Structure 1
Amino acid sequence: MKGDKVSQQTDTSLTGFYKVMNPKEKKTFWGCFLGWALDGMDFMIYPLVIGTIIAVWQVDRGMAGLAVTGTLLASAFGGWFAGYLADRIGRVRTLQFTILWFSTFSLICAFTQDFNQLMVARALLGFGFGGEWAAGAVLMGETIRAEYRGRAVGSVQSAWAVGWGAAVLLQAIMFSLLPPDMAWRAMFVVGFFPALLLLYIRRHVEEPEIAKVAREKVVAAGDSPSILEIFKPGILKTTILASLLTMGAQGGYYAITTWVPTFLKAERKLTVVGSTGYLAFLIVGSFVGYLFGAWMADRFGRRKLFMTFSLGAIVLVLAYTQLEITNEMMMWLGFPLGFFASGYFSGMGAFLTELFPTRLRGSGQGFCYNFGRGIGALFPALVGYFSAQYGLAMAIAIFAVIAYGVFFIAAVILPETRGRELQAN
């Protein structure tokens, strides 16, 4: 089927896909939704406590941002390896392994004794964090039928905002009950709880049939794919362009979300608890953006979603960081900023699933998304270092605009894949 041909749909509403999902699809949906929510909670704990870490251990902003960069770089390798592993041993087994990994290292973060130890623990957490997305996105993309894939996978992506919101709520509670030097540690302890999700996945989530058939064909032919096969001539162009797409998408996102909490405290003079309302508007906007993006990906296509939201994100980040506005106006502006800076991720999982053949899907999807994350990981550190000379607001704006510009260009060049049926090859 051609990539731009959409299957006949009886219900084009956002939630229409869920009504017709079979029990297997629903169990996979909720398993991946919870996994991504808890993944998001674990990752967002550090950006929320970064100001406290700077104060407690006397760390400069550049080094503090480098810890985020280290986590994301490690996640790039973790996602690539997990994607390859998912092609070899299965999507579900790889998903279980990665959730246990990042949960364990979140707990270890709570007991680190200096900033260097924390950086190492966060980097190792990132290895599993990147792998969880790679395994979960492929699992969802292959389980859900083509006409609902964008909305289903995109709705799972919205779980990131749920996890982010949980982290902000956790921050408000812990910093209200405990002194700062204990509160940040308590937050990382709670980050171990995602490991409990393994009990649900082991009982309810099954391997996609198309993935099992593809692996059987590979074994029968004695032609196991190499981890480097995605760089061969027939697929190299797709790998490069998809990697640039995800680099721009994630570079912009992390430049904003890593430093906005510190921006609110350092430049807008808000307390940790006082900034919670501002972050709440940002997170609610993000959640609505994910849901709208999921609907838009199926209704109008993946490329139109990416191009529209990248341009919107550029406009909003400039307004948020460069306009002289009151704190009240900034609070309200957080909603559209979160909307445009997050919603495009809803189309990413389905888009990458549809770009690669089944035998290479885990490797291709895992590498491209996490290569983009790895290069995008440089942006938080660059923002931190450049903020010393240009100020935090200007540094955020510079690198967010560069990232979203790359995202837009890659989206223009890549093909539309909406409605593409997956084959067991």
Structure 2
Amino acid sequence: MTTRTQRLDELPFTGKHRRLLAGSGVGWALDAMDVGLISFVMAALAVQWELSPTQLSWIGSIGFVGMAIGASVGGLLADRIGRRQVFAITLLVYGLATGAAALSVSVAMLIALRFVVGLGLGAELPVASTLVSEFAPRKIRGRVVVALEAFWAVGWLLAALIGYFVVPLNDDGWRWALAVGIVPAAYALVVRFGLPESVRFLESKGRHAEAEAIVRDYERSAGTAPANESQAVESPGSVEPVAPAEPAQRVSIWAPHLRARTAALWIVWFGINLSYYGAFIWLPSLLVAQGFDLVTSFGYTLIITLAQLPGYGAAAWLIEVWGRRVTLAAFLTGSAIAAALFGLAETPATIIAAGMALSFFNLGAWGALYAIGPELYPTAVRGSGTGAAAAFGRLASILAPLLVPLLLDSGGSGLVFGVFAAAFVVAAVAAFTLPERAGTVLE
């Protein structure tokens, strides 16, 4: 007999899927907006508070310390108390902390609050991608998850707009920018009461009646609900027309059949985090250091950010045509070339062109990475597996902002982006070793 997860896998993409994607995507965009805003705040505070490169590095890095912890803990909690619950909690945590950060009166206070913000941000991303991947129809699952990741570009674009129009207004512009970050706290209610819990998670916990009700809700949206649906949903003790899944058995992500993919996934996460956050968190500040004024550097950053959207679009199409592994490796290779060119760029035209290429390929790679991660693990450890990989990657995002000033002193922008290009190459090689899971059923 057909299982619930098989019924979900074979459904067409319906209005229920769109609402789940949009609901999760808004949370994703708010996450990106928060991460992106700090790069503009750093550039403003460097002038206003006369901060040293070391102080700026810690403001940029401390959030990623929290994200590393949050990603690991969030993934574990998602496998125990549910994807939706953790998703809502993370929005509440980082929304309130970001709002409080707007009231910072010292570097120490800002650093402490950015750590708390990071806890929420780090936990949200792997949990949201896991939730969406577990509902997406099998034939377009990768494309749907890349579409979710594309909301990151929307959020980063919002951050760039706020950075361009709000931060330079006056000395309190950066405070108003951070105050906008309290929006996720309110949106947590939408997630908690408006999005469904994962059917696979519910079945793994033996909550079959709840799982059946959600599946039938999606079937009604597609016009394929069985005729006796009301009896099955209202009477959990009755005979169901489908075979319930067996409770999932927990395994280690380092079990013999999983360890190779786990190691490769961790390498990809480390390389892409090191290069992405090293480049984009420092981008406005690097442009200011090259002699551009604050408004001009923010304007260039805004233009460069726009290229993220077509990058996601290309990845969303290619991931079902080329497959996960080839798409991810190709975009990582493109990112390496773009990073090397950016390090050599000197004129405004070449800076913008190389920066847009880096945005295009880098964010396309992010989309493919989030699509492939949840597919590598069985239900019982899917949240833990994706969360652990994200947590390891966050170690690189902690290191990256601290590494940039040292590399600048040693060899300038050429060395900085040369290191980032090398990291992308290593990540691309690791991506080629991952198993191809396009079109397969989630374990």
TM-score (norm 1): 0.88
Cα displacement (A) at 1:288: 1.0
Instruction: Look up the equivalent residue of 2:261 and give its one-letter code.
Output: T
Q: Which residue of 2 aligns with 1:400?
A: 420
1:307 aligns with one of 317, 329, 350: 329
Q: Which has the higher contact order (CA 8 A, sep 6+)?
A: 1
Q: Secondary structure at the match of 1:273?
A: helix
Question: Percent of aligned pairs with the same residue?
Answer: 28
1:250 aligns with one of 268, 273, 279: 273
Instruction: Look up the equivalent residue of 1:340 and give its one-letter code.
Output: F
Instruction: Report 1:322-401 matches (<5 A).
Output: 322-324=344-346, 326-391=347-412, 393-401=413-421
Cα displacement (A) at 1:395: 4.1
Structure 1 stretches lacking a partner, 5+ long: 1-8, 11-16
Q: Is the 8 A contact 1:255 1:399 kept in 2?
A: no
Cα displacement (A) at 1:209: 1.3
Instruction: Report 1:76-87 matches (<5 A).
Output: 76-87=68-79
Instruction: Look up the equivalent residue of 2:190 and give its one-letter code.
Output: Y
Q: Which residue of 1 aligns with 2:204?
A: 214
Cα displacement (A) at 1:73: 2.2
Higher deviation after alignment, 107-116 or 395-404: 395-404
Q: Is the 8 A contact 2:206 2:247 kept in 1?
A: no
Q: Which residue of 2 aligns with 1:140?
A: 132
Can you list the C-alpha shifts for 1:119-168, whole angstroms capped at 9, x where unaligned?
11111111100111021010011010121111111011111111111111
Cα displacement (A) at 1:273: 2.0
Q: Is the 8 A contact 1:57 1:114 kept in 2?
A: no
1:163 aligns with one of 155, 158, 165: 155
Q: Secondary structure at the match of 2:51?
A: coil
Q: How many residues align?
A: 399
Q: Secondary structure at the match of 1:344?
A: helix
Q: Secondary structure at the match of 1:230?
A: coil
Instruction: Look up the equivalent residue of 2:69 and give its one-letter code.
Output: F
Instruction: Report 1:292-303 matches (<5 A).
Output: 292-303=314-325
Q: Secondary structure at the match of 1:170?
A: helix
TM-score (norm 2): 0.85
Can you list the C-alpha shifts for 1:46-90, whole angstroms capped at 9, x where unaligned?
111212222333322233123322211221110111111111111
Larger radius of gyration: 2
Can you list the C-alpha shifts for 1:369-419, whole angstroms capped at 9, x where unaligned?
22112234212211122222322x134313312320221121122211111
Q: Secondary structure at the match of 2:410?
A: helix
In the alignment, the residues of structure 2 paired with residue 339 and residue 371 of structure 1 have an alpha-carbon distance, to the nearest angstrom, of 24
Q: Which residue of 2 aligns with 1:203?
A: 193
Can you list the C-alpha shifts for 1:6-55, whole angstroms capped at 9, x where unaligned?
xxx99xxxxxx9xx422331221011110110000011111112122223
Instruction: Report 1:2-81 matches (<5 A).
Output: 20-81=12-73
Q: Secondary structure at the match of 1:50?
A: helix
Q: Secondary structure at the match of 1:196?
A: helix
In the alignment, the residues of structure 2 paired with residue 202 and residue 307 of structure 1 have an alpha-carbon distance, to the nearest angstrom, of 36
In the alignment, the residues of structure 2 paired with residue 215 and residue 254 of structure 1 have an alpha-carbon distance, to the nearest angstrom, of 37
Q: Is the 8 A contact 1:285 1:336 kept in 2?
A: yes
Q: Which residue of 2 aligns with 1:6?
A: none
Cα displacement (A) at 1:215: 2.3
Instruction: Look up the equivalent residue of 1:71 and give its one-letter code.
Output: G
Q: Which residue of 2 aligns with 1:14?
A: none
Cα displacement (A) at 1:222: 9.2
Q: Establish whether residue 124 from structure 1 lines up as the match of residue 116 from structure 2.
A: yes
Q: Which residue of 2 aligns with 1:236?
A: 259
Higher deviation after alignment, 274-283 or 124-133: 274-283
Instruction: Look up the equivalent residue of 1:358 and give its one-letter code.
Output: T
Q: Establish whether residue 284 from structure 1 lines up as the match of residue 306 from structure 2.
A: yes
Structure 1 residues 395 and 189: CA distance shift in structure 2, 3 A: farther
In the alignment, the residues of structure 1 paired with residue 303 and residue 190 of structure 2 have an alpha-carbon distance, to the nearest angstrom, of 32
Instruction: Look up the equivalent residue of 2:180 and give its one-letter code.
Output: V
In the alignment, the residues of structure 2 paired with residue 131 and residue 56 of structure 1 have an alpha-carbon distance, to the nearest angstrom, of 32
2:88 aligns with one of 73, 96, 103: 96
Q: Is the 8 A contact 1:62 1:382 kept in 2?
A: no
Instruction: Report 1:162-181 matches (<5 A).
Output: 162-177=154-169, 179=170, 181=171
Q: Is the 8 A contact 1:310 1:404 kept in 2?
A: yes
In the alignment, the residues of structure 2 paired with residue 389 and residue 109 of structure 1 have an alpha-carbon distance, to the nearest angstrom, of 33
Cα displacement (A) at 1:315: 1.3
Q: Establish whether residue 273 from structure 1 lines up as the match of residue 331 from structure 2.
A: no
